Copies of this chain bind each other. A is one copy, B any other.
Amino acid sequence: MVVVMRPNTCQEDIERLVERFKRMDLDVGITNGVGCTILGLVGDTACVDMDKISMNPHVERVMRVQEPYKKANRKFHPEDTCVQVGTAAIGGGRFSVVAGPCSVESEAQIISVAEDVKEAGAALLRGGAFKPRTSPYSFQGMGLEGLELLLEAKAATGLPIVSEIMSPKYVDVFEETVDVVQVGARNMQNFDLLKEVGRMSKPVLLKRGLSNSYEEWIMSAEYIMAGGNENVILCERGVRTFETYTRNTLDVSAIPAIKQMSHLPVIVDPSHAAGLYWMVEPLAMAAVAAGADGLIIEVHNDPPHAKCDGQQSLTPEKFGHLMGRIQGLVDLMGKTLVR
């Protein structure tokens, strides 16, 4: 951490601050120049509150030079983490595709899609039972009944299931039913929910918020890990920018950035990023080429009649085509496609 003192702060005030830092078990180095003094702090600065220091009337600016996260930090855990879910695996050279409809709509629909995506090579089945919708007047998902239908689809195909949790009150049900608990983009900083899923035994798929930085995203993973659940999969799904042609702007740089910062696996959701079915394939390819550990793709047996997000859903046929191209690219990347 670096503390820049205001010009012309007297020696006494500087010393008082230095003493305070030393009492916090930090090493302090002082650079004195004409009208400017810089303090360098070294030690366990993760728990130092920057805001508090910057409120000191003699302080001009405080800058962090070390990361505020520990459990998710690659520096303290150099090897890639691989999250296992049944036979599927994400990270550390193993690549898995999660596929399925935006929302579970009926027994016939979810089983049909599950069979189709398994056939095409998906390793996990996604399906929304509880749906975050912008409008209170839109379809809100089938709820608990949707989870039941997902279990049937799992029984029929053997695919582990991924579904989004929207409220702490369903933690017990999700613990018993799903294989991977998804935390949606809009809940990435729902800290209460993060603490709850941190106590679960199931892996967590943590989507990036629409305007959250890499560091904030990793800090949300840190919340879950600090609770004891270290199986976190990060999922880039596009950020909000000025461009309105696409629903969001896929940030592929997130993949190499997160791999530098953290040991956790990163997957990509090109369906929500683009919001346009015909753009899913090129974005999925880009994600794999940038080093992603997996993909999550919306597939629907009848997109024009989907209850939500039909515009970004692939038909099973188009998904099959995509999987063919992904297989070739995953091979080229020297990874193993788990199916």
Contacts and interface: CB of A to CB of B under 8 A. Distances in A.
B29 A38 contact: yes
A331 to B, nearest CB: 9
A320 interface: no
A187 interface: yes
A289 B328 CA distance: 11
Interface in A60-88: 60-61, 63, 65-66, 68-69, 75
Interface string A130-144: 101111111110000
A38 B2 contact: yes
Interface stretch (A42-50, A119-127, A145-153): A42-50
Nearest to A281: B256
Copies held by the complex: 4
Given A167-B193, A240-B242, A255-B282, 18 more contacts: A2-B38, A27-B33, A31-B39, A32-B42, A33-B43, A36-B65, A38-B42, A51-B310, A55-B306, A55-B311, A130-B192, A168-B169, A169-B169, A186-B189, A210-B211, A253-B274, A256-B279, A286-B287
A219 interface: yes
14 contacts: A27-B32, A38-B41, A39-B40, A69-B135, A136-B223, A187-B190, A215-B245, A241-B249, A242-B242, A249-B253, A252-B252, A252-B282, A283-B290, A329-B332
A216 B274 CA distance: 19
A290 B270 CA distance: 12
Nearest to A28: B31
Interface of A: 2, 4, 7, 27-34, 36-43, 46-47, 49, 51-52, 54-57, 60-61, 63, 65-66, 68-69, 75, 130, 132-140, 166-169, 186-187, 189-193, 195, 210-211, 213-216, 219, 222-223, 226-227, 239-246, 249-253, 255-257, 260, 273-274, 278-279, 282-283, 285-291, 303-311, 328-329, 332
Given A214-B245, A240-B211, A282 B256 contact: yes
Main secondary structure of the interface of A (DSSP, over half): mixed
A243 B252 contact: no
A96 to B, nearest CB: 18
Contact of A29 (B40, B134, B219, B309): B40
A273 B256 CA distance: 13
Interface centre among A134, A166, A227, by most chain B C-beta atoms within 10 angstroms, is A134
A190 B282 CA distance: 31
A304 B56 contact: yes
A66 B242 CA distance: 20
Contacts of A166: 190-192
B304 A68 contact: no
A32 B61 CA distance: 21
Contacts of A279: 253, 256-257
A280 to B, nearest CB: 10
A31 B63 CA distance: 15
